[in-house]
């Protein structure tokens, strides 16, 4: 329920709706789309990537000297939680051996295991939390795929390249868009029930930056539906796919040839390190939303802390586009309990409109995400936003106009999850708008890969949000769902082919020693250890009390701490 002080502003939305609805029904743009110069202006002046301190040069590693997002540079220059000298026995006698190690139990990881099994390769999925606890599960609106009669993979390709500011890896975009229709068919064969029209054709909607209606969907539960389907398929083959839950990978293992030969896992249950020897390894760890870049709330799941970036980088993998962050234009601002909650772009694709405090449109509703987000931030900076009682600010997203455009009941039919979420707080989005502001959403870059999902380290493959290159410096709606499906399948295929003939030499952690040496050579003083694994929202004074009660028992690598105490030793060579 909105507080009483917002009632006058809500009434302005209702007053301006008839005129806005009349224009929307004509099919013409409800607000003039920006030209290239206008987009560049709002982007460089208002996008968080361009604010002071948003980027800095990383001082060590394969991308040394390049400007990266500051929070990313911080975790890359942090200390490892693994001490190489105490791991020797684990390296000589690994705890597990497998053909293929898949790090991450989301959509990309599951697809990789499913595809590898079809090629006769056994795999192990090591995941930080439970299977399916991933950003895959969090996605709502839909997936892009050129499946309608008026669309084609070529048009999809051009939209994706343009949305990425023409900096995408063209070959990755070609693979993404050409594989899309087959992904739709294969998911349906596995059990995904797509939204369809009465004649049986696929229902498709617009998204920001699309030239054709291309968004296929499962109401607003697409992530949950796909994730459930893929998990079921994984669980159907326990003889070929084993799963280690609550055992995240914390460092990669290399052999004397520099090939990736598995990883060090960390048991969240026992606080013990475990080693896995594997002929091929896939990083499918997802994004970094829980780093809360620039202090933004996030749409990401609890374990999204950029672990794959850290592990890959220390082993020598190159990163791509890690100076770029995507902020979803419509994250919830009110109620406070769901601040940052994703409000799918499908709302705007169906006709929802962003409005300022005066009930006025100020931006075309389907600009590419970075442009739309920047325009919302600019409008609030101009003093035209709506303030909440806890100090957040945002703009309205007029959802009731959708029923006015498509008929009563459309919203509850197409967006049951969104309705249910706001119903819990007494807000009926069929009658009242939502209050929104950009939310940290997606890691545009990642570990650089080719179309075979290969990194520059032999035996190491990357798929999904952890990879970099396909989206350039901005991703269009629905291409992330497509990304983990397309490249999860491809990673499983090419890693399986590699594993059939691969041999693994003597495992080592020499790259961790080298990392510690680089930190010392560059005189980098950091109290941070990484991978972070889990975000900490505990106030510092409470942490001190916890440690005092426990008598400082937690090990240095304990999940209670990601920072060192003053004077505490760092990496042991």
- Whether residue 341 contacts residue 421, with contact meaning beta carbons closer than 8 Å, is answered with yes
In angstroms, rounded to a whole number, what is the distance separating the alpha carbons of residues 386 and 8?
11
Tokens of 126: 């090591």
Residue with tokens 């940290």: 440
Out of 206, 214, 219, 328, which one is annotated catalytic?
Answer: 328
Sign of dihedral through CA atoms 297, 298, 304, 308? negative
User: Residue 432 and residue 14: Cα distance in Å, rounded?
Assistant: 9
Q: Are 215 and 344 in contact (CB under 8 A)?
A: no
Neighbours of 387 (CB within 10 A): 16
Longest dimension (CA), the chain: 73
Judging by DSSP bridges, how do beta strands 260-266 and 249-254 pair with one another?
antiparallel
Helix (H) / strand (E) containing 549 = helix 540-549
Residues 201, 181: Cα–Cα separation, whole Å: 13
Which residues neighbour 484 within 8 Å (Cβ) at sequence distance 6 or greater? 106, 107, 108, 111, 136, 284, 463, 464, 465
Rounded Cα distance, 389 and 411, in Å: 28
Q: 440 - beta bridge partners?
A: 298, 327
Alpha-carbon distance of 114 to 233, in angstroms, equals 7
Q: Which residue has the tokens 């220390």?
A: 314
Helix (H, G, I), strand (E, B) or coil at 529: strand
DSSP state of 163: H
Total residue count of the chain as it appears in this document: 573
**Distance between first and last Cα of the chain:** 57
- Measured from the Cβ of residue 453, the count of other Cβ atoms closer than 10 Å reads 30
Give the closest residue to 365 by CA, choosing from 33, 86, 9.
Answer: 33
3-class state of residue 283 by DSSP: strand
How is 78-104 classified by DSSP, letter by letter? SEES--GGG-HHHHHS-SEEEEEEEE-
> Do the beta carbons of residue 125 and residue 109 sit within 8 Å?
yes
Give yes or no: 228 in active site.
Answer: no
Q: What are φ and ψ of residue 303, in 5° steps?
A: -95, 10
CA distances to 244, 266, 554, 555, 559 from 270, rounded to whole Å, are 13, 8, 12, 12, 11
> What is the DSSP secondary structure assignment for residue 342, as one 8-state letter?
B
Neighbour count for residue 220 (Cβ, 10 Å): 24
Q: Is 199 exposed, middle or buried (0-12, 13-18, 19+ CB in 10 A)?
A: exposed
348 catalytic? Reply is yes
Q: Sign (positive/negative) of CA torsion 93, 96, 98, 102?
A: negative
Q: Residue 553: exposed, middle, or buried by beta-carbon count in 10 A (0-12, 13-18, 19+)?
A: exposed
Going by C-alpha positions, the residue among 137, 210, 208, 221 that lies closest to residue 180 is: 210
**Residues tagged active-site:** 328, 348
């Amino acid at each position: 329920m909105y507080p009483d002080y917002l009632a006058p502003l809500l009434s302005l939305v209702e007053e301006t709706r008839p005129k806005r609805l009349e224009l929307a029904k004509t099919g013409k743009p409800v607000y003039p789309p920006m030209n290239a110069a206008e987009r560049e202006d709002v982007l460089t002046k208002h996008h968080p990537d361009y604010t002071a301190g948003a980027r800095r040069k990383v001082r060590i590693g394969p991308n040394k000297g390049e400007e990266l997002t500051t929070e990313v540079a911080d975790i890359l220059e942090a200390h490892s939680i693994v001490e190489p000298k105490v791991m020797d026995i684990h390296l000589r006698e690994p705890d597990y051996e497998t053909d293929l190690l898949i790090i991450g139990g989301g959509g990309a990881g599951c697809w990789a295991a499913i595809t590898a099994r079809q090629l006769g390769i056994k795999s192990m999925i090591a995941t930080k939390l439970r299977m399916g606890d991933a950003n895959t599960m969090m996605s709502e609106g839909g997936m892009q795929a050129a499946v309608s009669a008026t669309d084609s993979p070529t048009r999809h390709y051009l939209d994706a390249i343009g949305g990425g500011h023409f900096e995408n890896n063209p070959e990755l975009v070609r693979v993404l868009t050409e594989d899309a229709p087959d992904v739709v068919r294969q998911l349906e064969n596995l059990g995904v029930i797509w939204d369809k029209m009465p004649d049986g054709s696929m229902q498709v909607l617009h998204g920001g930056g699309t030239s054709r209606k291309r968004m296929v969907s499962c109401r607003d539960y697409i992530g949950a539906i796909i994730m459930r389907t893929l998990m079921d398929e994984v669980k159907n083959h326990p003889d070929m796919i084993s799963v280690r839950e609550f055992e995240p990978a914390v460092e990669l293992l290399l052999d004397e040839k520099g090939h990736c030969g598995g990883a060090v896992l960390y048991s969240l249950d026992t606080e013990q390190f475990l080693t896995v020897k594997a002929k091929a390894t896939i990083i499918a760890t997802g994004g970094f939303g829980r780093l809360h870049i620039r202090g933004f709330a996030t749409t990401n799941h609890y374990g999204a802390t950029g672990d794959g970036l850290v592990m890959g980088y220390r082993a020598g993998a190159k990163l791509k586009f890690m100076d770029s962050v995507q902020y979803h234009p419509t994250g919830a601002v009110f109620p406070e309990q769901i601040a940052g909650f994703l409000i799918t772009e499908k709302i705007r694709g169906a006709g929802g409109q962003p409005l300022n405090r005066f009930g006025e449109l100020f931006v075309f509703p389907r600009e590419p995400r970075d442009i739309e987000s920047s325009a919302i931030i600019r409008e609030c900076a101009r003093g035209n936003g709506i303030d909440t009682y806890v100090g957040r600010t945002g703009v309205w997203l007029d959802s009731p106009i959708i029923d006015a455009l498509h008929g009563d009941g459309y919203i509850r039919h197409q967006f049951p999850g969104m309705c249910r979420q706001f119903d819990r707080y007494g807000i009926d989005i069929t009658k009242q708008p939502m209050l929104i502001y950009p939310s940290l959403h997606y890691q545009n870059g990642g570990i650089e890969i080719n179309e075979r999902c290969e990194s520059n380290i032999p035996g190491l493959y990357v798929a999904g949000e952890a990879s970099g290159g396909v989206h350039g410096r901005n991703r269009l709606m629905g291409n992330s769902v497509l990304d983990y499906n397309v490249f999860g399948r491809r990673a499983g295929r090419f890693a399986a082919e590699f594993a059939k003939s691969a041999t693994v030499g003597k495992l080592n952690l020499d790259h961790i020693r080298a990392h510690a040496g680089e930190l010392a050579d560059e005189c980098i003083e950091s109290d941070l250890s990484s991978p972070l694994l889990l975000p900490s929202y505990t106030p510092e004074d409470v942490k001190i009390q916890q440690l005092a009660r426990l008598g400082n028992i937690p090990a240095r690598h304990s999940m209670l701490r990601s920072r060192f105490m003053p004077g505490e030793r760092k990496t042991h060579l």
